[in-house]
Amino acid sequence: MSPQQTKPEHERSTGARPAGITTEQAAAANVQQMFDTIAPTYDRANHLLSAGIDHWWWNRTARLFRPVLQRPETVALDLCCGTGDMTMALLKHRPTNPEAAPILAVDFSHQMLSLGKKKFAPHNIVPIEADALNLPIADASVDLVTSAFGFRNLANYEEGLAEFHRILRPGGQIGILEANQPEGLTGAVYNLYFKTILPKLGGLISGKPAAYSYLPASVERFPRPPRMLQLIKNAGFTDATWTSYTFGTAGLFHATKP
């Protein structure tokens, strides 16, 4: 067995891999189908399972980017936007000037984006159904890219970061809000809830237990902050940081394109 194979999965994972899936193409298709399936109950399940803390996470992240969001010419893109809660948090800090650039809300799940469109309809938000690894966005045309609890579902993390880098203008920023696997006593309590209770509750709410078994598995597989920060730096970003939210159960990766 090679040294690479002996590393924990979160240190060698390159992207999401639902159970039984081995290729990037199959992983992407599986995740897309899963989110299309759970879309009708997604918001309700998220808010109940997080006890409403998810709203605080989105709003805290959006506030960090207030200075750039307040500029009318800023082009902000919310990737893996789902039903649009992070997008709506960003909108609170955008100018009401009708000439201000719209927020771009991108997701590859048709059903999730359809629900998001209902929230976006009265606002200066443009929904785009697209693959995060192949965005229909011009090079160096975006000032801010955010992604809330969606990045870890990409089939290839390095390609996702490369795509962020491609579409950002020099000086542009990324904000990746993601779940995390804490350690110590917090980790033990977290695991009890996240791996035992949450899948059962999520399955009951959605009627799709497999999707909520995938959730804790995807977090366990996702790179821990030191590894993720290295991937971000390797992609060409500078000033990469991770800010812990709620005892390390989630956190924000923030970096800048030189």
The whole-number average pLDDT for the span 121-149 is 98
Distance CA 227, CA 176 (A): 14
The whole-number average pLDDT for the span 47-74 is 95
Instruction: Check residue 14 and give left, alpha or beta (phi > 0: left; psi -120 to 50: alpha).
Output: alpha
Output the pLDDT for position 195.
82
Residue 1 confidence (pLDDT) above 50: no
Domain ranges of the chain: 21-256
Output the pLDDT for position 180.
94
CATH number attached to the domain at 21-256: 3.40.50.150
| SS3 per residue for 214-255 | HHHHHHHHCCCHHHHHHHHHHCCCEEEEEEEECCCCEEEEEE
Distance CA 31, CA 35 (A): 6
Closest CA to 27 of 35, 19, 39, 38: 19
pTM: 0.93
